[in-house]
Structure 1
Amino acid sequence: MASAIPGPREIPESQYDLTTYWGRVKHSAEVSDPRMLFVTQDELEKSKKLVADYKTGKVVTMNAELWHAKRVLDSTLHPDNGEPVLLPFRMSSYVLSNLVVTAGMLTPNLGTTGTLFWQITNQSLNVAINTANANKSHPLTTTQLISSYALAVTASCSVAVGLKSVVPRLQSISANTKLVLSRLVPFAAVVSAGVVNVFLMRGQELRKGIAVFDNDTGAQVGTSQVAAAYAVGQTALSRVINATPIMVLPPLVLVRLQRRLKMSKVTETVVNLALITATSFAALPFALGIFPQRQTVHVHSLESRFHGLKNAKGEPLKVQFNRGM
């Protein structure tokens, strides 16, 4: 991200109003724009120089070229170390990286072997994305990473296979309802495993706390476990919100189309993939915009040791923290 470029002057966080939902949606659409995957090394270096010039005062005001440079850095660099995130695991590649896996999980009439394969593949991708974008101040050990991965895979496979075997045995519902429920099994598995994954991968933050900063001056005022709980909890909820339209709408629409139209297996696969692609690109910015990236709270919402902090006017201090991905 542009924040990783050193300099005494901070660059504006966005050209949109991030205190509003619509502003965050537009900002998220830019960061997750897949066209950012085609950025060349020369363009990346040029963007770094432009942002550095602004941060050191050589450029006074933001302009279209600078906003584009910031967009390039925000979609390419890790905010902690300033290094490029591995290309398949960048937010700009999120939809494309997940496309094949999502299509696999939502394949109609998928057997147990196929269910297990795609759930394991999905959690492998999730762990890779989480690791590539993780907060570098609290890195996971190899043992913790393997443990998190194993538990997430166990959760997703258990839910997927368990519900897959339970739904056909339900006696009090119609065949159509059973069909709909069977198509929603991957959603339940992905959501449960996604929540488990977030809490496991960011366990260090919950135990040690995350940095909180004076909302007016930007100075760090300490670390807070309560702020970490807010950050991790909201991230887990955002994963659920993000998965809901992508994992729910395409299978329900496909069921409706199958009732009305006669489709070959090839046509069904193409339609399913098209539905997943369209929903993924449309839904991602709206899901990412639900919660602000940088949260602002009163100190009274944190641990008691923060309650006495005041701003320059003598009022209870407001602090902010980075929610993370």
Structure 2
Amino acid sequence: MFPVIDTYKGMKNASSQNAHFCNFGRMSELVRTLVLKPDISKPKWDQSTFEGRARHFFAVTNPLNLFHGEKQLENFRKIVDNYQKGNVSDTLTLAQLWKAKTVADSAFHPVTGEKMMLIGRMSAQVPMNMVITGGMITFYKTPAAVIFWQWLNQSFNAVVNYTNRSGDGGSVSQLLLSYCAATGGALTAALGLNTLVKKAPPLVGRLVPFVAVCVANSINIPLMRRGELTDGIDIVDENGQVVGKSPAVARSAISQVIISRIAMATPTFAFIPIVVNSLEKMPFFQARPRIFLPLQTGLCGLVLSISTPVGCALFPQQTPVSLDQLEPALAQKIRNLPNAPSQLYCNKGL
């Protein structure tokens, strides 16, 4: 669902070097004056730590990245392209370089270079999910409302998945299958559970959308990546060279992605209903039932602005892999390589 970030060779050293530029008040320095220039092919912060990953995703998912016009986006991309070619403006500061890198990465596809659909970008995750989640946890009692909001949620997920596809045109049919299966699973879970909990306390009914979203994620993500489950996920060495494919590691990587997605949704779908269920008992809110839609939507936005980057940061995207995790035949093949790698990685995705 999210763009792939290639960070293999020298990943930790490059991240530490980049962090050096950020932590010592040097962001206003001119790039051309720096003896040691930052490697913008890597994230700004150390991705081997949770803090570094969280700071990276707070920057990437920032909704303010959406408020840049076409000319600004092209200018940011030009700054990044020129820097990578060794052409550095005399007035370019370190802060301007990193801003250009962050905004360009948020707007342009990492493989095709095309400008991505606005609502499919990572920076649109919080505002879009704020509205959709607010609707799902407010209108959950009638079948028509459940069908509409669950359909809208899965449709948005499909747009995000398509926008951030790998660049292979053959993935459209895979997206369609995943969309239909996830939508069907979410609707079945939501409508079925609503029938079962009709006589249960109100709080139980409020948690039904959360269960439906968990079911949809558990269907959607494995279907989207079913090729990796059968053929294996790419295993690479320190230099980013593919040394094999492993279905076993793919299962682990996809499980981590599912956990991350559910972790992103848990605070909004589980915490907010508990809060609202308590507020409903107060006379002030009982006299003003229409306040709950804007209230819950606003709370969703606040919570999602934290849970989205934190959920993305739970596991390293470039996950270290040991030989013990691989199938015996693949592990032996790697051991027999002329220059057997000391460390392996896989890109678990997001």
User: Aligned AA for 1:135?
Assistant: S
Residues 1:219 and 2:219 aligned together: no
The aligned residue for residue 265 of structure 2 is 243
Change (3 A) 1:78 1:121: same
CA drift at 1:123: 1.1
Change (3 A) 1:320 1:57: farther
- Separation of aligned partners in 2, 1:16 and 1:311: 35
User: Aligned AA for 1:96?
Assistant: P
Change (3 A) 1:122 1:74: same
SS of residue matched to 2:320: strand
Write the deviation string for residues 124-166 of structure 1: whole angstroms up to 9, x where unpaired.
1111211221223584243x43332222111111111111111
Write the deviation string for residues 3-58 of structure 1: whole angstroms up to 9, x where unpaired.
69xxxx96342121111111111110000000101122222222223222332334
The aligned residue for residue 198 of structure 2 is 168
CA drift at 1:186: 0.4
Residues 1:199 and 2:199 aligned together: no
Paired residues of 2:138 and 2:292 also in contact (CA < 8 A): no
User: Aligned AA for 2:262?
Assistant: V
Change (3 A) 1:57 1:136: same
SS of residue matched to 1:309: helix
* Identity percentage of aligned residues: 33
Paired residues of 1:224 and 1:303 also in contact (CA < 8 A): yes
Paired residues of 1:108 and 1:183 also in contact (CA < 8 A): no
The aligned residue for residue 43 of structure 1 is 72
Residues 1:284 and 2:308 aligned together: yes
CA drift at 1:300: 3.1
CA drift at 1:233: 1.9
User: Aligned AA for 1:91?
Assistant: M
TM-score, with structure 1 as normaliser: 0.86
- Separation of aligned partners in 2, 1:65 and 1:141: 37
- Separation of aligned partners in 2, 1:41 and 1:120: 31
- Separation of aligned partners in 2, 1:179 and 1:251: 10
User: Aligned AA for 2:229?
Assistant: L
Determine which structure has greater relative contact order: mean sequence separation of CA pairs < 8 Å that are 6+ residues apart, divided by chain length.
Answer: 2
User: Aligned AA for 1:110?
Assistant: K
The aligned residue for residue 294 of structure 1 is 318
Paired residues of 1:32 and 1:93 also in contact (CA < 8 A): yes
SS of residue matched to 1:262: helix
The aligned residue for residue 16 of structure 2 is none
- Separation of aligned partners in 2, 1:214 and 1:96: 38
Write the deviation string for residues 152-192 of structure 1: whole angstroms up to 9, x where unpaired.
1111111111111111345xxxxxxx111111000000111
Gaps of 5+ in 1: 171-177
Q: Report how many aligned residue pairs link the two structures.
A: 312
